[in-house]
Amino acid sequence: MGHYFAAYLIPLSAAIGLWAGGAWSWLAVGLVYGVVPLLDQAVGRSAANLDETAQAAAARSRTADGALYLALPVQCGLLLLLAVVWQGEAGLLERVGWIASTALSCGGLGIVIGHELVHRRDRTLYWLGKSLLGTVLYTHFAVEHVRGHHARVGTDADPASARQGQSVYAFIPRSIIRQFLSAWDLETRRLARAGQGAWTLRNEVLVGWGLQAVWLAGIAAVFGLEVMGVMIAVAALAVTLLEVVNYIEHYGLRRYPGPDGRLEPVRANHSWNSDHRVSRRLLFELPRHTDHHMNGGRPYQTLRSVAGAPQLPAGYPTMVLLALLPPLWFRVMDPRVAAVSATPA
């Protein structure tokens, strides 16, 4: 389980860039989008799964959980380091590199681990995950993702399921806005069933706003409004990365009503899977997304490669770059969507 700590190379490379400055400010970007795709290609895929005994042992692994608990102090430390170095002298390209690298760490490590933790039943771990999301101003994701996206994946009602032919640039604003509205609706409906109004501290969306306001106010009080603006820019880029990943994970895959009018169950053909070894480790098995949707409570270290799951042609970092070029994305992915649609579930 210790190999998952390799994911912390992302914030480490971002921290080196903040400390060293100059061209080093882009180190994390070069690592994730230059080195990792090459390693994914060289090392290749593995569809091997743990046997039942090993899977049970992995589920109890303190090392695997420890790799998650480290994320919040690391992420806060990285953001505070950015706040400190920002006040020194630096060129525009260097500052842009700092923002991009820090955002990449916050999205590629912080949000990924936040996502894992908000799926846990333990409320302490849930709020640890929500605190991670709070550093990128996206706490409502915990509500919408767990209670909305997982129930509605592959349907028009799900903001995070991209339709075939929809570019990532059309998808991102639609997904962000509709996920926020959905989170608010889910919470107000939950509270209404308990006989309560929306404007209460029992509303998780409101509490999340409070966490985020405290974070930004603290940054502004200590470092000034300019640095607060930098934190907002980092959050915006990290959330954009999350939404590009959402786009990749379900592009073109649809669920349909059965003869009784109910949606078909979530099956293997409703999420794109990637078994590329290197990016799987760096992303805490998030690329094994098919099993995650079929078994949402399963810890990351026990996720399996599911037979019949549609496979992405490359690891996540490569697919992110591909998604940013819609004509090339459609050429690569649309035939694969058609193949999945033509295959019986």
DSSP states of 166-205: --HHHHHHHHHHHHHHHHHHHHHHHHHHTT--SSSTT-HH
The pLDDT tens digits for 137-159 are 999 999 999 999 999 999 999 99
Output DSSP code: residue 52: H
Tell me if 10 is assigned to some domain.
Answer: yes
Tell me if 331 is assigned to some domain.
Answer: no
At residue 247, what is the residue type?
Y
Low-confidence ranges of the chain (pLDDT < 50): none
316's CB contacts (< 8 A; 6+ apart) are 245, 248, 274, 276, 279, 283, 286, 287
The confidence score (pLDDT) of residue 57 equals: 87
Contact 102, 79 (CB under 8 A): yes
Full-model pTM = 0.95
The confidence score (pLDDT) of residue 192 equals: 96
The confidence score (pLDDT) of residue 113 equals: 98
Tell me if 313 is assigned to some domain.
Answer: no
Percent of residues, the chain, with pLDDT higher than 70 = 99
Phi, psi of 248 (to 5 degrees): -65, -40
Q: Which two tokens stand for residue 281?
A: 């480790």
The confidence score (pLDDT) of residue 260 equals: 84
Tell me if 257 is assigned to some domain.
Answer: no
Tell me if 252 is assigned to some domain.
Answer: no
In terms of Cα–Cα distance, which of 285, 245, 237, 248 is closest to 101?
237
The confidence score (pLDDT) of residue 257 equals: 87
The confidence score (pLDDT) of residue 287 equals: 98
At residue 249, what is the residue type?
E
Tell me if 93 is assigned to some domain.
Answer: yes
The confidence score (pLDDT) of residue 344 equals: 61
In terms of Cα–Cα distance, which of 55, 71, 58 is closest to 5?
71
Domain encompassing residue 216: 2-242
Q: How many domains does the chain have?
A: 1
Contact 309, 29 (CB under 8 A): no
Tell me if 87 is assigned to some domain.
Answer: yes
In terms of Cα–Cα distance, which of 150, 126, 151 is closest to 139?
126
82's CB contacts (< 8 A; 6+ apart) are 18, 98, 99, 102, 230, 231, 234
Tell me if 329 is assigned to some domain.
Answer: no
3-state DSSP call for residue 257? strand
The confidence score (pLDDT) of residue 345 equals: 56
